[in-house]
């Protein structure tokens, strides 16, 4: 009813299907829930279940007289190493289906990635049911965020999920190893759906917090890389200056062209550092002026 955006009062007739509807307690529960609705007894509950299975089989072998489509009973989500959940299969999505996502590495020379699969209707991992995990192996060593790993998730008609991965840059197929745990029961699925509605606002805050965490982490990695490059450049510049001074002491017969050539070599190393420093100072003064004007 929730998925159809209907209320109990919108139900005109309830059809009883399946052997369990013969149980009086089940019938009484339905009458309490759908009070005022008419219970249709024009069909045999046992025959209806068999007819449903036959219609599904007919659809699966390609009969076109009736179109039936399988849908996912719950959402299946993927948690990347950073903890962020991505929905692979939406609840009530038609299957078979396929989804492709692209991931990259978070550290230099990373050669594997681990992912966790969850099912449920929440948006944070500690509220979901872990159904399995898989690892992508054989990533070529390279600096962080350079590899582009394309991971494809294909769900077949039986709801079985197949995972494949390929390196976009080289076209090399990655090895994928998976481990699976228990699945949810129907009662657990319904309970998690109800809890998802109640915790929707809290989940939104949790997603925002995780996004802010990832932005901070990315900024720190970027600054570390820049500072390390700057230190290497400064070290090289100091070494070049020391080399030039020693050369001047040792080579007393140097000509004017020799001195000019050595200066060019020193400038080629030092100028980029000084230009970057000047640009940084100008940017800082601009920010201070803007702050004073405001």
The predicted-structure confidence for 218-266, as pLDDT tens digits, reads as follows 788 878 877 888 888 888 888 989 999 999 888 888 888 988 998 999 9
User: In the sheet that 149-155 helps form, which strands lie side by side, from edge to edge?
Assistant: 97-103, 149-155, 161-167
Residue in this structure with the two tokens 């494809």, named with its chain if needed: 152
Pick from 103-112, 182-191, 229-238: least confident: 182-191
Pick from 69-73, 174-178, 194-198: least confident: 194-198
Nearest one of 196, 183, 197 to 131, comparing CA atoms: 183
The mean pLDDT of 160-164, rounded to a whole number, is: 81
CATH number of 218-293: 1.20.1270
- Which residues fall within 8 angstroms of residue 142, CB to CB, at 6 or more apart? 105, 108, 109
Query: Is the bond leading into 27 cis (omega within 30 degrees of zero)?
Result: no
Where in the chain are all domains bearing CATH 1.20.1270?
218-293
What is the C-alpha separation between 259 and 184, in angstroms, rounded?
Answer: 79
What is the C-alpha separation between 68 and 94, in angstroms, rounded?
Answer: 10
Report the 10 Å Cβ neighbour count for 221: 15
DSSP 173: B
What torsion do the CA atoms of 194, 197, 202, 206 make, to the nearest 10 degrees? 90
Pairing of strands 94-95, 85-89: unpaired
What is the C-alpha separation between 293 and 93, in angstroms, rounded?
Answer: 55
Q: What is the mean pLDDT of the chain?
A: 77
Helices 200-250, 256-293: axis angle to 10 degrees equals 150
Rounded to two decimals, the pTM is 0.47
What is the C-alpha separation between 10 and 7, in angstroms, rounded?
Answer: 5
Classify residue 135 as exposed, middle or buried by CB count within 10 Å of its CB (0-12, 13-18, 19+): middle
pLDDT > 90 in the chain, percent = 2
Model confidence over 3-36: pLDDT tens digits? 777 888 888 888 888 778 778 888 888 888 887 6
Where in the chain are all domains bearing CATH 2.60.34.10?
76-198
What is the C-alpha separation between 21 and 38, in angstroms, rounded?
Answer: 15
Of the two residues 255 and 120, the one the predictor is more confident about is: 255
| Architecture of the domain made up of 76-198 | Sandwich (2.60)
Please, how many CA atoms are within 13 Å of residue 146, restricted to the half-sphere of its CB? Answer: 12
What is the structure's pLDDT at 264? 92
What is the C-alpha separation between 235 and 252, in angstroms, rounded?
Answer: 27
107 band by pLDDT with thresholds 50, 70 and 90: confident
What is the structure's pLDDT at 200? 59
What is the structure's pLDDT at 83? 66
């Amino acid at each position: 009813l929730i998925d159809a955006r209907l209320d109990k009062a919108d139900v005109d007739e309830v059809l009883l299907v399946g052997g369990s509807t013969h149980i009086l307690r089940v019938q009484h529960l339905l009458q309490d829930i759908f009070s005022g609705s008419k219970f249709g007894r024009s069909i045999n509950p046992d025959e209806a279940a068999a007819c449903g299975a036959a219609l599904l089989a007919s659809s699966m072998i390609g009969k076109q007289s009736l179109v039936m489509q399988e849908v996912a009973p719950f959402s299946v989500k993927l948690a990347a190493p950073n903890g962020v959940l991505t929905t692979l299969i939406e609840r009530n999505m038609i299957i078979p289906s396929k989804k492709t996502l692209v991931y990259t590495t978070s550290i230099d020379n990373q050669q594997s990635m681990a992912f966790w699969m969850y099912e449920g209707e929440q948006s944070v991992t500690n509220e979901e049911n872990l159904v399995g995990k898989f690892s992508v192996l054989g990533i070529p060593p390279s600096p962080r965020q350079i590899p582009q790993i394309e991971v494809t998730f294909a769900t077949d008609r039986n709801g079985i999920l197949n995972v494949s991965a390929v390196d976009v840059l080289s076209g090399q197929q990655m090895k994928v190893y998976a481990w699976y745990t228990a699945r949810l029961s129907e009662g657990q699925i319904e309970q998690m759906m109800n809890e998802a509605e109640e915790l929707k606002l809290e989940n939104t805050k949790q997603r925002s917090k995780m996004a802010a965490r990832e932005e901070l982490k990315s900024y720190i990695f970027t600054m570390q890389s820049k500072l390390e490059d700057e230190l290497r450049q400064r070290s090289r510049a100091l070494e070049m200056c020391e080399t030039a001074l020693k050369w001047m002491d040792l080579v007393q017969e140097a000509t004017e062209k020799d001195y000019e050539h050595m200066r060019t070599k020193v400038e080629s190393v030092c100028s980029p550092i000084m230009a970057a420093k000047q640009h940084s100072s100008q940017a800082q003064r601009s920010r201070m002026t803007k702050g004073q004007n405001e």
